[in-house]
Structures are given as C-alpha cells and as structure tokens.
Amino acid sequence: MNLILLGAPGAGKGTQAEKICEKLSIPAISTGNMLREAMANGTEMGLKAKSFIDAGKLVPDEVVIGIIRERLQAADCKNGFILDGFPRTIPQAEALDEMGVRIDRVIDIEVSNEKIAARLSGRRVCLKCGATYHVEYKAPKTEGVCDACGDTLVQRKDDMPETVLDRLKTYHEQTEPLKDYYAAKGILRVVEGQEAVADTTARTMQALED
C-alpha cells in the first residue's frame, strides 16, 4: 500500500507512521528526518535547508522533490511506503503524479492548534536515530537519553513557540489545500487525532481499511 500522512506540525504523523510501518512492514519516509540528517552531516543540501527549517518555512520544492524521487526508487519501496511530510505543496503533489507514483490512501490527522503547541513544546528527539519522545506523553526510560540508541535527546530548534506559530501559518497556507486535492481523487480519509496515541492509531488503522 502506498500512503501519504497529512497533518499540521505535531499532529502525530511521525508517531502514526511508526505504527503503520510496524503493522504493514513498509518503510516510513520522512522528508523532515532526511533533511535533519543532511543538516547534522553538514552536507550542501543540509546547509541550504537549515535556514528554511529554523525559520519555520518550507524548503524549496525542487530540493524535496529530488529527495523523494531518489528515495522511492529504493528496493524497500517495492511493496509500498508511507510518506510522512511529503507532499506539502500542490507542486509537490503534482510532481508525485508526474513521477507516475500511485497513491492508495491519504490519511489526514486533525489536531487543534492549542494541542499542537503543547505537543511540540514537550517533544524531545534523538538526532542520531530519529526516535521521538514527549516529556509527558511518551517519556524515555531515562530522562534525556534515547531508549533506542543511548544518544542524548534534544529539543528541535523549530519546536520553539515562535517558530511553531510560523510553521502552523505555513501549514494552513501551503499544505492544507492538499486535502481538497486528494479529496477530489476520492482517496482522502480524515482521522481525529486529538486523543491519546492509541486512539489515533485505532482510527488510522480503520481508515486504511475503509
């Protein structure tokens, strides 16, 4: 199954991508994680992306389209994939169509702006392996240490309150129109994401069957 997860920053796309990945054994592809990895490695693309990400803006379409075009050619995508954070603009969705990529389902996770602020201020991430935690809702076994690889957990720079507001504005202006784009194709399913992770997961799994 080829899936797209849509939703505001902090709606829980990464969290649900992990659950679907475990259930269906298909890779979860996060453009955000790939860009952060490039930033950590100091590559040319990472340096270019940094100023956009730190300001809560989108990285230019041609950069992320190039990343996805290459990633979808990998052998592990043969039986399906989950796109987490791509597409984020109409031109990115059109580029996916032009690549001849068939999308079976688009899951839109809906969460209010108020909840988003609480989730993002408490999020902690591992820059080494990409694992995500929350100080209240998903705490690591040892405070500040990644359960998976033992590296130090940090707060993402773009999770600071002022930047979160910019990310939400960018989302409403540039990404939300994708709901209509995929609704018109009959493949959009809206999932209520306000409650506990397990509730959202149950709704997400149901939406994959509908």
**One-character DSSP codes across 78-92:** TT-EEEES---SHHH
> Which is nearer to ligand AP5, 137 or 180 (by Cβ)?
137
Q: Which residues pair with 132 in a beta bridge?
A: 125
Cβ at position 68, least distance to ligand AP5 in Å: 8
Cis peptide before 140 (omega within 30 of 0): no
> Which is nearer to ligand AP5, 55 or 187 (by Cβ)?
55
Give the Cα separation of 96 and 67 in Å (integer).
Answer: 12
Residue 70 tokens read as 């290459």
Q: Confirm or deny that 195 is annotated as ligand binding.
A: yes
Distances in Å between the alpha carbon of 152 and those of 34, 131, 148?
19, 11, 11
Give the Cα separation of 29 and 60 in Å (integer).
Answer: 18
Contact residues: ligand AP5, CB under 6 A: 7, 9-15, 30-32, 35, 52-53, 57-59, 64, 85-86, 88, 92, 119, 123, 132, 134, 137-138, 158, 167, 193, 196-197, 200
Give the Cα separation of 46 and 52 in Å (integer).
Answer: 10
Cβ at position 107, least distance to ligand AP5 in Å: 11
Give the Cα separation of 151 and 35 in Å (integer).
Answer: 19
Best CA proximity match to 209, nearest among 6, 8, 18, 23: 23
> Which is nearer to ligand AP5, 26 or 93 (by Cβ)?
93
How many C-beta atoms surround the C-beta of residue 33 within 10 A?
Answer: 18
Cβ at position 142, least distance to ligand AP5 in Å: 17
Q: Which residue is nearest to ligand AP5 (CB)?
A: 32
Q: Confirm or deny that 12 is annotated as ligand binding.
A: yes
Cβ at position 86, least distance to ligand AP5 in Å: 4
> Which is nearer to ligand AP5, 26 or 125 (by Cβ)?
125
Catalytic annotation, residues: 13, 88, 123, 156, 167
Q: Binding site: what residues are annotated?
A: 10-15, 31, 36, 57-59, 85-88, 92, 123, 126, 129, 132-133, 146, 149, 156, 167, 195
Q: Binding site for Zn(2+): what residues are annotated?
A: 126, 129, 146, 149
